[in-house]
Amino acid sequence: MKNITLIGTGIMGAPMARNIAKAGFSVTVWNRTREKAEKLGDVAKVADDPRKAVENADAVLTMVDNSAIVTEIYFGKNGVADAAPDGALFIDMSSIQPAVARDHAAELERNGRRHIDAPVSGGEKGAIAGTLAIMAGADRADFEPAEPLLKSMGNPTHVGGHGAGQMAKLANQVIVAVTIGAVAEALLLAEKGGCDPTAVRDALMGGFATSQILTAHGQRMIERDFRPGGPSALQLKDLENALEAARNAGLKLPLTEQARDAFHTLVNFMDMPRHDHSAYLLWLEAMNGKCMGSGETKAPA
C-alpha cells in the first residue's frame, strides 16, 4: 500500500494528511473548498476532481462531517467508488451512523472494493501529534494491511466487523459529552462556592476525577477559550446518532439524553454550532444566570 488519497482536509484531515506523508506514503488530497487542500501542496498532490484524485489510490480516506457527505462522495453524481482501482480499500474516518457504515461496506464490496470504518478520537491536537485513538470496524483481513497506514495517524484498534468502529466512536462521544457536562458543573459549583476554579482543577488532577476532559476542556473553560477543537454541532450529531443506536438496541440512556438536550439548545437556540464542545459551560451559565470567571470569552472567528 503506497498511494493514498485523502478527501476532506479540514481541522482533522489536514494534519492527518501531513502525518501520512511523513510516514513515506504518496499522498493525494481533494477538498470541496480547494483553498484548504492547497495548504497541503508541500506534502501532497492537490487534485481538482475527486474521481481523478482516487484513480491510482491503493486506499481512499474520507474525513468529513456526516453520513450524507460520505454517501455523496462514495456514490453520488461525482462519486469515487467506481473511479478507484478494483480492490481499493476505502477507509472512512468520519463519524457516522453504524448502520450507514455497514451499508457503505456492502455496496463497496458488491463493486469489488473493500471498506473499513475507522473514526477517531483525540481532536485537532491528536491529529497534529499523530496520537489519535482509531477505532476500526472491518474484516481482519482488511485491517491488517491497513495497520501501518493507520499507525501513521495514531493508535488503531480492531474492534469488530463493519460498523463496529462507528459504534465504538459513539461510545466514546457519550463519555466525552457527559464528562464535559460534569466538569462544567463541578467548576461552576466550585467557583460559586468560593473556590478558585483553577486551583480546584489543579487539586483534582491525579485523583479519581482526573481525565483528559478535566485536563484539556477544564482548562478551556477556565480560560473561556471556545474556539474549536471539536465543534458543538458535531458533538450534537454524534449524540443523536448514539441515541438512535440505543433505540435500535432497545436501550434508554438518560445521561446521554440530557447531554443531547443541552447541546441542542447550545447549537440551535444559542447559535453556537462552531463553538468548541467545552462551550457546554455557556449553556450551563445561561441556565443558572451565573458566569464563571471574568475573562474575555474567545469564540470562533
Question: Which residues are designated catalytic?
Answer: 169
**Cβ of 52: how many Cβ atoms within 10 Å?**
14
Contact 119, 94 (CB under 8 A): yes
Strand (E) or helix (H) holding 45 = strand 45-46
CA 80, 82, 86, 89 dihedral sign is positive
SS (H, E, C) 62-95: ECCCCHHHHHHHHHCCCCCCCCCCCCCEEEECCC
| Spatial distance between the Cα atoms of 195 and 193, rounded to a whole number of angstroms | 6
All 3 cell numbers of residue 115? Answer: 471498506
| Spatial distance between the Cα atoms of 153 and 120, rounded to a whole number of angstroms | 10
The beta strand positions in 126-218, using DSSP E, are 132-137, 154-160
All 3 cell numbers of residue 69? Answer: 457527505
Q: Look at residues 175, 266, 261 and name the one whose alpha carbon lies nearest to residue 226.
A: 266
